[in-house]
Structures are given as structure tokens and as C-alpha cells.
Structure 1
Amino acid sequence: MKNSLDRAALDAAVENVHRAGMPGLFAEVRDGDQVWRGAAGVADVATGRPVTAGLRHRVGSVTKTFTAAAVLQQVERGRIGLDTPIGRYLPKLVPRERGDAITVRMLIDHTSGLAEYLPYAYPSLRAYPDLAKTGPQSLDDHRLTRFDPAELIAMGVAAPAVGAPGGTPGVYSNTNYLLLAQLLEQATGTTAERCITRNVIERAGLRDTAFPTGPHVDGEHSRLYEAWFGMIDPPRDHSVHDMSWVGPSASLVSTVADLNRFFAALLAGEIVAPSSLAQMQRTVPVVSQEGRTIDYGLGLHPMEDPGHDTFWGHGGTVWGGGTLAMIRADGKRQLAVAVNLQRWNRLDPSGRPQPHPIDDALAALHRVAMYG
């Protein structure tokens, strides 16, 4: 039987991303019971310590899939109504008319119209989500800042709305998922982190996935280099950073193997019921943080190439790191990849990010990993 994983092509694709300028990256691709793991480059540019495929990594907004699954579990138990207004649960956080108009579903699929709080938490991000127009000055200032989630939510709720509740396209906003974390806490009587750990992470059998308890990544990990479109040159290590600025919206630490294990369990119906998974795969148009309109479900979004099978999953970025995890609709083919540099594109005179060889090399890796 022919091996369906072209290991030589995958090795070459990972190496090409490193040669294109990525300090280090690591990935795992699965096809049925076949597994390929690969890595290229360094975890520390100062010492030359190499990356390996088993490193732990901040996975950013891939966390949203975990949070959405935990909410849907509580929907199944009757503790949360998917189409119930959030104001019935959290009237102090989303008061009056907005609380009556915004449902739990609208928070999960980003159609609530609630703005992103980040520009107010990080003062230098005033042009967010167009980060290319902003400077990175406040990143260092807030490395160890412990943000209060209720204060962050208040910033997002007080900001001008980015759309009408339920209107499309929705606008991707971390405010939505901080509210979902508060909803989980109210419904379960424990923190969202403990709820997600017990009901999602442990149920999936993940041994290297956890929420951080401080600014450091526990266990062996790579440094995370933030370039901010060439404004930080050389890129600065942000692997030590308090993740309370995103909490259960984007703070998980995991490995590529654990991410593949999680998405396999999710699509196999082992985390939420098949009816809940079907809800997660009902998509609406949403404007991403990069300004692109994508199809987005309940903590999941599809990735499709014309003429190829559909993959479901999520991507994520943090200061200095990025992650993508995807699984084919039939559950048999998977990719999880982590990179240790962010915002590598320089800007043209109009302030738009310029193409970079890393972009093409990553796209080529995604293609060979997902489609062969």
C-alpha cells in the first residue's frame, strides 16, 4: 500500500519555511494511523537551540474552539440557551437593549456587533485591527500587566458597535469570548479555565495542554519573536507575557500533537454531541482581524481549496507566535503547525504589508500537508 504521507515533501516544505525567514517552526500531519512530525530552525536565535516537534506553544485563538465546545456542552445540559439573550445571564456586563438583542450564539460566531477591546487595553493599538497603522510601544509596557476580564469586557461594550446584533458580516472580536468565559463561570460555578480543562481538555485526553498560571510557558518551549512589520528589528522575544489580556479567548498552551488529538475527538463526536457539532459547522460571513471575510461557525471555520476536500479548524496568533490546526471533514487527515515569529511582513509606503517569502512557503506547506 502506498504511503499517503509524502514525508520527503513535508520535510522539504517545513525546511523551506525556515529558509524563507521563519526562525523556527514545527508541525504534525496525520493521515489515518500514519503520523509525520517535523521541525526546522531554532527555538532560540541567541543560543541556536533547535526546535523540535514536541515543544509546547501558545496557540492563540485556537483556544476559541475549546471555549465554544465547553459552552455547547452546557447547552446540551440545559444550563445555557444557545439563542437566549446574554443579558439574561450577564445583565451587568451587557446591559439594557444590547443585552436583550445579543444571543449566546452571536457571541460564539462573532455576529454580536461588540467591538474589540484590545485598542483600549493596549493604548498603542488605537488603529486595531489594522495593526500595520500602529506601533508596538505598549507591548513591552504590558508584558506583566494583569488585566481584569470584566474591565476588558467593559471596554469592548462601551466602544462604538461594529454592527447590529445578528447582522452579517460579523466582526471578529475577543470581547465575545471573554463574555463566554464569564457565562461558563456563571453556569458551572467554577472558572472558565477549570471548566474547559475538566470537560474538554481532560475529556480529549490531552496531556500537554493547559491554561497558563503566570506569564511563563511551562515546559520546554520556543521563544516567540515579534517583528511588528519590521518596526521591531531585530524581532523581540515575547514568550514571557501575561496572557490575561485574552484569557480563555486565546491563552491556551498546547502541542501540535495535542491539537490534532483534540480536533480528531471533536469531529468524532467525543467532545460535543453530533447535533452540537452540526451547530458549530453552521457558518456566517465574518470579517477577520486581517480584514478578510471568512466563513465562521461556532468556534470553527472551514478552509477550502477549489477542487479539494473541506478542512475544519482554527488559527491563532499571539505576540510572537502563530498556530494553525485543521482536520478534514471525514476526520482522517490533519495538520497542526506552530511558528515562532509574527508580523514578519514589511510595510509599503501606503502602510500595507508587503508580500514575504514566508507567506508563499507557509501556503505551500499547508497544501502539501492537507492535500498531498
Structure 2
Amino acid sequence: MRNPLDPAKLNAALEDVHSAGMPGLFAEVRDGDEVWRGAAGVADVATGRPVTADMRHRVGSITKTFTAAAILQQVESGRIGLDEPIGRYLPKLVPGRRGDAITVRMLINHTSGLAEYLPYAYPSLKAFPALADTGPESLDDHRFTRFDPAELIEMGVTAPAVGAPGGTPGVYSNTNYLLLGELLEHVTGTTAERYITRNVIERAGLRDTGFPDDPHVEGPHSRIYEAWFGMIDPPRDYSVYDMSWVGPTASLISTVADLNRFFAMLLAGEIVSRPSLAQMQHTVPVVSQEGKTIDYGLGLHPVEAPGQDTFWGHGGTVWGAGTLAMIRADGKRQMSVAVNLQRWNRLDSSGKPQPHPIDDALATLHRVAMYG
């Protein structure tokens, strides 16, 4: 049964998220040819400047879907073998037996067993993702640090493995996607960011999507506020930040309209071929950074939805910014939502995030957006 868009309900759901404590958020929902865009709250808590639905935003790990699509394009061209060992291409970055055992596919679906580099680049996140003893200090220390991806990769590769290559459940690790960025550069002769821009972003006709050239977000955008589980009070603005700490894993800037356009074209077979899309939708169990086991494909995963329909997409967070994009399997219904506050939940003594009214309000917004 088709549930047409209800602007009044969608606007009310947005306002409820803002009322629950989110400074600002904006979204676009599509159903066939129908399009709704909305925004609620402020882009700057100091001035009261309102958010608008066309703002550019740091979309975090949604970048991984773009990077995975770029890799699949190179698989289609024959330059990369999906089940070839990464050591064939990057022997210096993943040497020896691990380089022989870890395949390109294992990097894309997080079953490589390579550890997350973040706790080593950001020492105050040493307990990540077990957060009880972590602090936000190094977020400020590294605001303008220019990281070398090879050094970040070395941190992940030399850290204790989190699993055997190809073993499941896999463990979500940004180290995998930094390696994929280096792989793209190796086979194309240009940086991953330039290749993805030319062959994914421009192919999809995304006018407001791109990788940052410096710590700033160009164009209309919101300030983004990090609470770090109540340890930063009031939440601090991290909209100016050098994103070399994530590169082709999570540095992309986009809009909710561009994200919906990208995922619609991806599922229509217009970014990669339909056989490649089928590979992207073949999932394995993976433990997320929040400690939950999810089904994960090649830069794409089914999103939990309160109903019988299957939605595909990806979420993303960076310091202060969060985004979720999803599309129904038939390509008809879509939702992209951006928020300008992260880690609003406080932690209990065991390090577990406690419920917050924002959680329920966001769940309601997602339900209204997906089902009316």
C-alpha cells in the first residue's frame, strides 16, 4: 500500500526532534515524483540562525558507499580483482601473510580483521568503542592536524588484529577504507578523492557534494556540535576541522538532496552495473562501532526499518555531525536526514549510552518518513 508524503506530519516530526534537544536538523523525503524538504531548529546556537534544508553537511561514513562504488567500477574495468589479496597491490602497507590473506572484498565488507586506527591517532579515545573511560581532549588537539594516510594505516595494521581475515562477524574498521583509498590511487594514478569526484560524484550529477580542500565547509552550512556523552557541556562547535583524519572513509560533504539522488542512481544501476550492485548487497555479519551486530555488504547495508520493507543505505558521523540516508529496495521511497549534534546520550557507570528523548523522536521521524 502506497503512503503518500504528509508534509504536516513530517514537519511535526522534525520539530519534535528539535524540541527533544537537537539544535538543528534538516531532511528530504521522496516518494516517486513527490519531494518534501524540511528543517527545524538553528544552525548556530549563539546567533539563532536557522537551519535550511539545502545546507551542505559533513556526512561521515556515507562516504564509504561512494568509495566502495569507485572500487567496484575498477573491478568492472579489470584493474582490481575483488577477491585478490591486497598484498598484490599494496605490499608495503599490508606486508607478509596478512597481505596475502586479506582480499579487497574483505576490506570493503569489514571482514579483514584489521583494527581501527582511531584510538591510536586520537589517544584520548583509547577505550574506543568501549567508552566508559574515554575523554574528548584530543578532539581539540587535532583540530588542524594534517594526518598522513599511510601513517594512519600503519597504526591499524600494526595494532592487534580484531579477527582472522574473512572471519565473521567482521569488525567495522576505518583502516579498511583508508586502504581502499590507497588502492584507488595505486590503480588509477590519481588520488581517491579526485577519482571519486570524477567518476562517482560527477557521474551522478551531484552539484553540492565534494571532498573538502581545507578545514572549512564551503557554502551554506550549519555549525556542528559535539557533546561527547555529556563530557563537553555545553557542546562545542567542530564545523572547522581538518578531515585528513578520515579521508576517503568519512570526509565527504553533501546535501540531503544530493544523497537521495546518489542512492537512487546507485540502486538503479547507474553508478555501478547491476551485477556489481548485487555484490554490494551481499551481506555478512559485522560488529559496528556501537557494538551491535549488523548485516553489512560492500559499502552498503540494509537499514533497520519498522516494517516489512527492505531499505538500503548508510549512516555517518563525524565530530558534531550525523547523517542517515536510506532508500527502499524498489527505489521508490527515500529519506536523508542530517543533524548538527552528536553523542547526546550520557553514559552509565559501565559506559553504556543512556536513553535520551532525541532517540525516540528520531525513530518517529524515520518511521513517518519511510511509511507515512
TM (norm. structure 1) is 0.98
Contact 2:117/2:175 (8 A) holds in 1:
yes
Unaligned 5+ runs, structure 2: none
User: Is residue 214 of structure 1 aligned with residue 214 of structure 2?
Assistant: yes
Distance, in Å, in 1 between the alignment partners of 2:196 and 2:305 is 32
Which residue of structure 1 aligns with residue 109 of structure 2?
Answer: 109
Contact 1:308/1:371 (8 A) holds in 2:
no
Which residue of structure 2 aligns with residue 247 of structure 1?
Answer: 247
Q: Secondary structure at the match of 2:302?
A: strand
Contact 2:279/2:298 (8 A) holds in 1:
yes
Please list, as runs of the form range in 1=range in 2, the aligned pairs for 1:65-104 lying within 5 A after superposition: 65-104=65-104
Which residue of structure 1 aligns with residue 325 of structure 2?
Answer: 325
Please list, as runs of the form range in 1=range in 2, the aligned pairs for 1:249-288 lying within 5 A after superposition: 249-288=249-288
Distance, in Å, in 1 between the alignment partners of 2:26 and 2:256 is 8
Contact 1:132/1:229 (8 A) holds in 2:
no
> Amino acid of the residue matched to residue 251 of structure 1?
S
Aligned length, in residue pairs:
371
Contact 1:132/1:353 (8 A) holds in 2:
no
Rate the CA distance shift 1:313–1:132 in 2: closer, same or farther, 3 A: farther
Deviations 1:248-269 (A, max 9, x none): 0000000000000000000011
Deviation, 1:324, is: 0.2
Deviations 1:7-64 (A, max 9, x none): 1110010000000000000000000000000000000000000000000000000000
Rate the CA distance shift 1:345–1:369 in 2: closer, same or farther, 3 A: same
Deviation, 1:132, is: 4.1
Deviations 1:74-118 (A, max 9, x none): 000000000000000000000000000000000000000000000
Deviation, 1:129, is: 1.6
Rate the CA distance shift 1:11–1:180 in 2: closer, same or farther, 3 A: same
TM (norm. structure 2) is 0.98
Rate the CA distance shift 1:335–1:132 in 2: closer, same or farther, 3 A: farther
Deviation, 1:3, is: 7.2
Please list, as runs of the form range in 1=range in 2, the aligned pairs for 1:182-221 lying within 5 A after superposition: 182-221=182-221
Contact 2:300/2:313 (8 A) holds in 1:
yes
> Amino acid of the residue matched to residue 116 of structure 1?
E
Which residue of structure 2 aligns with residue 20 of structure 1?
Answer: 20
Deviation, 1:6, is: 1.1
CA RMSD of aligned residues (A): 1.0
> Amino acid of the residue matched to residue 145 of structure 1?
T
The list of structure 1 runs, each at least 4 consecutive aligned residues, that deviate by more than 6 angstroms after superposition, is none
Distance, in Å, in 1 between the alignment partners of 2:99 and 2:264 is 35
Deviation, 1:181, is: 0.2
Distance, in Å, in 1 between the alignment partners of 2:188 and 2:215 is 26
Deviation, 1:307, is: 4.0
Which residue of structure 2 aligns with residue 33 of structure 1?
Answer: 33
Q: Secondary structure at the match of 2:218?
A: coil
Distance, in Å, in 2 between the alignment partners of 1:184 and 1:19 is 44
Deviation, 1:304, is: 3.9
Which stretch shows the higher mean deviation, 350-359 or 194-203? 350-359
Deviation, 1:351, is: 2.6
Distance, in Å, in 1 between the alignment partners of 2:305 and 2:134 is 33
Rate the CA distance shift 1:316–1:109 in 2: closer, same or farther, 3 A: same
Which residue of structure 1 aligns with residue 133 of structure 2?
Answer: 133
Which residue of structure 2 aligns with residue 178 of structure 1?
Answer: 178
User: Is residue 147 of structure 1 aligned with residue 147 of structure 2?
Assistant: yes
Which residue of structure 2 aligns with residue 370 of structure 1?
Answer: 370
Please list, as runs of the form range in 1=range in 2, the aligned pairs for 1:152-167 lying within 5 A after superposition: 152-167=152-167
> Amino acid of the residue matched to residue 214 of structure 1?
D
Identical columns (%): 85
Unaligned 5+ runs, structure 1: none
